[in-house]
Amino acid sequence: MFTLDNLFLLLTGLLAAYLCWYFWRRYTLHKALHNIYYLMGFAVLLVSGLLLIFLGLDILSSPYVLTVASLIPLGISMGVAEEYYPSWKKYFKWFAAVGFLAIAITSIGGMDTMKKIAVPVFHGVAGLVIFLGPFFAKNAPQGFYWVGIGGLLIGLGGIALAFISAGSQLLFFSPDFVMKILTPLLLLMTGAFTLGFTRKG
């Protein structure tokens, strides 16, 4: 049965597919590494959206899904750092690599106490880079702040999901509330990213 959630996920997937094509085309033209990081983030978003359509929102409880989905904020944040903050991009890459391993080990290994620390910390920092980075980036296209708005949305959604997967609740983000807003939140987030990344000036 095709639901409203599936409609939101389908539209999100179409935008993510467009951004994958957009960043691949940019990479083939300029060979800039940040385009690969962006591409990785949106490719994972595309695959995640398709899995949610065909397998349902219940797969969000899987530690493997949580681990792979962490590549969305980590990939996009590495792209922002690579493109606009060359002075600390190397250190952030190490941070992202450690974060991905920490999330993978604590999630798949069932280390719930450590997961409650690792997931919010690394998701939160990556979300802050995507949120604040575009507002302070030099020589960024006008309208790049939309990427920051997308970062705010991905940060809120990601941290809320992380708390729920760890058996806790963040503020008023109850499991039922998060499930209700998740798919429209993903669409709004991807729409904001599309506006921000494709602005030419």
Tell me the percentage of the chain whose pLDDT exceeds 70.
86
Q: What is the dihedral of CA 147, 18, 80, 189, to 10 degrees?
A: 30
Element (H, E) at 112: helix 112-136
C-alpha to C-alpha distance for 22 and 64, rounded to whole angstroms: 28
Q: Is the pLDDT of residue 194 over 90?
A: yes
pLDDT band at 140 (very low <50, low <70, confident <90, very high): confident
What's the pLDDT band for 162 if we cut at 50, 70, 90? low
What pLDDT digit, counting tens, does each position of 17-57 carry?
Answer: 999 999 999 999 989 999 999 999 999 999 988 888 888 77
pTM for the model: 0.88
Contacts of residue 153, defined as CB under 8 A and 6 or more positions apart, other chains included, come to 185, 188, 189, 192
User: How many domains would you assign to the chain?
Assistant: 1
Assess whether pLDDT exceeds 60 at residue 163.
Answer: no
Residue 154, C-beta contacts closer than 8 angstroms, at least 6 positions apart: 72, 73, 76, 127, 130, 189
Express the helix, strand and coil content of the chain in percent, nearest 5 each.
80, 0, 15
Q: What rounded mean pLDDT belongs to the chain?
A: 85
Structural domain of residue 171, as residue ranges? 4-197
List phi, psi (to 5°) of 167.
85, 20
183, 157 contact by CB (below 8 A): no
- Residue 56, sorted as left (phi over 0), alpha (psi -120 to 50) or beta, turns out to be left
Mean pLDDT of 101-128: 82
